[in-house]
């Protein structure tokens, strides 16, 4: 069984509790070690365990694998509860201080689209804010024990954040990361040339219950579009977990009849091609049931079809690969402008450069990072070639 086939089977097993496909999956050709390894890499251990329990041929699954998955699933379930509890606390913190914000991905997606909320693994809380509110949020989070995952002084941080879309904050306990929060002011990096920011999501903002708390988020239709943006543009659909999200969202939207709102949101944000590609890739690997009219529109988007045909689960992290993906996915605005933004970002220091070499005074010596950056990029390329 090829790697791609293993991942596809993995995804279909994960969907067994949500469908009647348990009897149609043959386990005879499954390499169990490879399947579990893939489940770890794609962050779907609990969903695999739950799916295997619903398999009609469950007795053919080796006992030791089921026991291992059971133990790991319990650990992840406990972590999920911790992240969910922290989201509620952060929601109350931001609301009590009158800070505009919405939560998206992670906990919110699970609450919206998954009937079995403890199974979808997530690690952090994603929050979209207004950039001008970042200093206040930093102060509030600092009082709660959070700090930037990559510390940098004020001068260096301002220069770096100009080319970023988020600030990653962590809360540690006994030297280990207890909580992570990604504070975003844009959904896409500036190099994409389409800064989708807080105000652009205003038409879709709602409150939803997480436990007994009202949490600011966006509609299910807008959440689906955001998933397509993150999973496609930012991550290249590199994990089956991302396609499972797309699959579950599609089922929810089809049941609620929300496709008109999906299209309106995607067109307003200029990401309709990203949505088309996401649908086609989910159909390819998970046989996602997509309404005929929506599928017809996706198939008529030749670029989206090309993206689907060329897709693999190995994300091309080279600068050329990233630029090519952005150019293909973008269906609004100047592609020449996108290239310019990408090259500008490529030439500008970022957190990775600061991690590569920690200067004693990164504020006054920040200019040295312009020299360090090409060295880091070349070093990264050499290291990648060692494994090719």
208-267 pLDDT, tens per residue? 999 999 999 999 999 999 999 999 988 989 999 999 999 999 999 999 999 999 999 999
Euclidean distance between CA atoms 348 and 181, whole angstroms: 25
Q: DSSP label at 188? A: S
The per-residue pLDDT for range 157-178, each reduced to its tens digit, is 666 676 688 999 999 999 899 9
Parallel/antiparallel/unpaired status of strands 205-210 and 213-218: antiparallel
Residue 382 has pLDDT above 50, yes or no: no
CATH topology for 80-218 is Beta Polymerase; domain 2 (3.30.460)
Phi, psi of 358 (to 5 degrees): -95, 105
Count of residues for the chain? 388
Euclidean distance between CA atoms 167 and 80, whole angstroms: 22
End-to-end CA distance of the chain: 21
Euclidean distance between CA atoms 49 and 36, whole angstroms: 10
**Region 15-32 average pLDDT:** 74
Residue recorded with tokens 């080319």 = 163
Whether residue 22 contacts residue 16, with contact meaning beta carbons closer than 8 Å, is answered with yes
Phi, psi of 183 (to 5 degrees): -95, 110
Residue 120 has pLDDT above 60, yes or no: yes
Q: What is the pLDDT, as a whole number, of residue 55? A: 81
Residue 10's contacts (CB-CB under 8 Å, 6 or more residues apart) are 35, 38, 39, 42, 44, 48, 240
Q: Half-sphere exposure of residue 275, counting CA atoms within 13 Å on the CB side?
A: 27
The CA-based angle 270-276-277, given to 5 degrees, is 105
Euclidean distance between CA atoms 65 and 57, whole angstroms: 14
Residue 385 has pLDDT above 50, yes or no: no
Higher-confidence residue of 165 and 323: namely 165
Q: Give me the residue spans of the domains in the chain.
A: 1-61, 80-218, 222-333, 349-388
Q: What is the pLDDT, as a whole number, of residue 79? A: 94
What residues form DSSP beta bridges with 184?
128, 166
Return the minimum-mean-pLDDT range out of 50-54, 179-183, 301-305, 326-330.
326-330
Q: To the nearest whole percent, how much of the chain has pLDDT over 70?
A: 80
**Region 332-355 average pLDDT:** 64
Residue 85, both tokens: 């509890």
Euclidean distance between CA atoms 89 and 125, whole angstroms: 11
């Amino acid at each position: 069984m090829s790697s791609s086939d293993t991942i596809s089977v993995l995804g279909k097993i994960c969907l067994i509790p949500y469908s009647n496909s348990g009897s149609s999956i043959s386990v005879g050709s499954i390499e169990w070690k490879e399947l579990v390894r893939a489940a770890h890499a794609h962050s779907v251990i609990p969903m695999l365990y739950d799916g295997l329990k619903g398999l009609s041929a469950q007795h053919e699954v080796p006992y030791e694998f089921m026991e291992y998955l059971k133990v790991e699933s319990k650990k992840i379930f406990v972590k999920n509860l911790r992240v969910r509890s922290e989201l509620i606390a952060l929601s109350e913190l931001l609301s009590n201080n009158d800070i505009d914000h919405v939560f998206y991905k992670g906990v919110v997606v699970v609450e919206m689209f998954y009937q079995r909320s403890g199974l979808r693994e997530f690690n952090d809380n994603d929050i979209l804010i207004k950039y001008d509110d970042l200093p206040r949020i930093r102060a509030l989070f600092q009082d709660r024990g959070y700090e930037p995952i990559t510390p940098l002084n004020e001068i260096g941080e301002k220069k770096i954040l100009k080319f970023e879309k988020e600030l990653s904050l962590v809360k540690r306990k006994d030297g280990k990361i207890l909580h992570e929060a990604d504070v975003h002011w844009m959904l896409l990096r500036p190099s994409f040339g389409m800064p989708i920011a807080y105000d652009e999501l205003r038409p879709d903002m709602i409150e939803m219950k997480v436990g007994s708390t009202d949490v600011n988020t966006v509609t299910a239709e807008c959440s689906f579009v955001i998933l397509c943006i993150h999973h496609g543009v930012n991550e290249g659909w590199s994990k089956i977990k991302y396609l499972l999200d797309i699959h579950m969202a599609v089922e929810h939207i089809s049941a609620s009849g929300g496709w008109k709102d999906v299209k309106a949101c995607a067109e307003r944000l200029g990401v309709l091609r990203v949505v088309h590609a996401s649908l086609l890739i989910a159909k390819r690997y998970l046989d996602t049931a997509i309404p005929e009219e929506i599928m017809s529109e996706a198939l008529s988007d030749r670029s989206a079809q090309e993206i689907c045909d060329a897709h693999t689960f190995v994300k091309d992290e080279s600068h050329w690969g990233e630029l090519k993906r952005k150019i293909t996915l973008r269906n609004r605005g100047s592609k020449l402008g996108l290239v310019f933004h990408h090259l500008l970002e490529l030439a500008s220091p970022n957190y990775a450069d600061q991690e590569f070499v920690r200067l004693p005074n990164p504020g006054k010596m920040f200019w040295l990072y312009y020299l360090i950056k090409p060295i880091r990029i070349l070093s990264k390329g050499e290291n990648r070639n060692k494994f090719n």
